[in-house]
Amino acid sequence: MSDGVKKISLVIPCYGSEKTVRGVIGEIQSIFLGKVGYDYEVVAVNDCSPDNVIEVLEDCAAADPKVKVVDLAMNRGKHIALLCGFSYVTGDIVVTVDDDGQCPLDRLWDLIAPVEGEYDQAMASYGRRPVSGMKRFGSNVNNMMSRWLLDKPSDLKFSNFIARKRFVTDAMANYNMPFAYLEGISLTTTRKIKMVEMQERDRAAGKSGYTFSKSLKLWLNGYTAFSSKPLRIGGYLGMVLALAGFLGAVIDLIRLAAGSSFDFSFWFITALMTFLTGVILMCMGLLGEYVGRIFVAQNNANQYVVRKTCNIEK
């Protein structure tokens, strides 16, 4: 913004949060109240929530023109909801905030400080959090996957409270494929990222909207959207098995030529065939996943559809 005033855009993806999102918006308003040198806007994206979130957001927008609302026609998931929000921001720095009150907004200025300096992105680092074993397992698998596929530094761990320079979110918003994975999109935009230690809050109400099926879908998006390494693994595995089979055949021929008698166990052969069939089907399924995504992308499938907006001119 002009006159030395820096504008902060806070993007909130909303789903199942009719009891909490008003409090999150209210805390944002209080943080900026009387803050000299800064202006703000809230871009709340309703991801086709089944509760009354849209009514709550429209009420907040009617009371404060700085609260902007985007209502999606279909549920597309948190990552696409954030990309949608990025396309509507007008601030110099963009901050993503969850709708359940877990983000420590009282540390907002600590999060923004690195982005006002040399870093392009700053993320809240919560350390080890008390979560369920299944959620921790899924998080660890996701981290290992992103380190392998995306060469993500081991000290980076993406969280729900992130500040980015505007050019970063503009570049991310240009990603128009229907399969979104924010870690991959972010890491292919910039690597100048700072971790800021802070404590995550308890959820104000309700429970996480991430089911096992949603987590699996997100994992597949990351696994197939930004690298061909999985296909290479299938090729390498096929070569290893082919070499093993060739060596086995050579050994058998040598033993036969030497007059040795041998007898393969029926169960051993059955287990081997089952294993090889499983490997083949796994590689075919992986290849089909890539081909299917190419097909959907070539059909220009909508990433999201906006039903209506509030306090947004464009």
Q: How far apart are CA 126 and CA 307, in angstroms?
A: 35
Q: What is the predicted pLDDT for the residue at 216?
A: 60
| pLDDT for position 38 | 96
Residue 70 is classified by DSSP as E
* Cβ atoms 24, 97 nearer than 8 A: yes
| Domain 6-225+302-310 class, CATH top level | alpha beta
Question: CB-based contacts of 60: which residues, under 8 Å, 6+ apart?
Answer: 21, 22, 25, 42, 44, 67, 69
Q: What percentage of the chain has pLDDT greater than the value 90?
A: 48
What is the reported pTM? 0.75
SS (H, E, C) 217-254: HHHHHHHHHCCCHHHHHHHHHHHHHHHHHHHHHHHHHH
- Helix or strand (DSSP H, E) at 9: strand 6-14
Q: Which two tokens stand for residue 222?
A: 């990351």
Mean pLDDT score of the chain: 82
104-131 average pLDDT score? 90
Structural contact between residues 5 and 38, judged by C-beta atoms closer than 8 angstroms: yes
Contact 180, 83 (CB under 8 A): yes
pLDDT of 70 > 70? The answer is yes
Tokens 């696409």 sit on residue: 80
As a whole number, mean pLDDT of residues 108-136 equals 84
| Every domain of the chain and the residues it spans | 6-225+302-310, 229-298
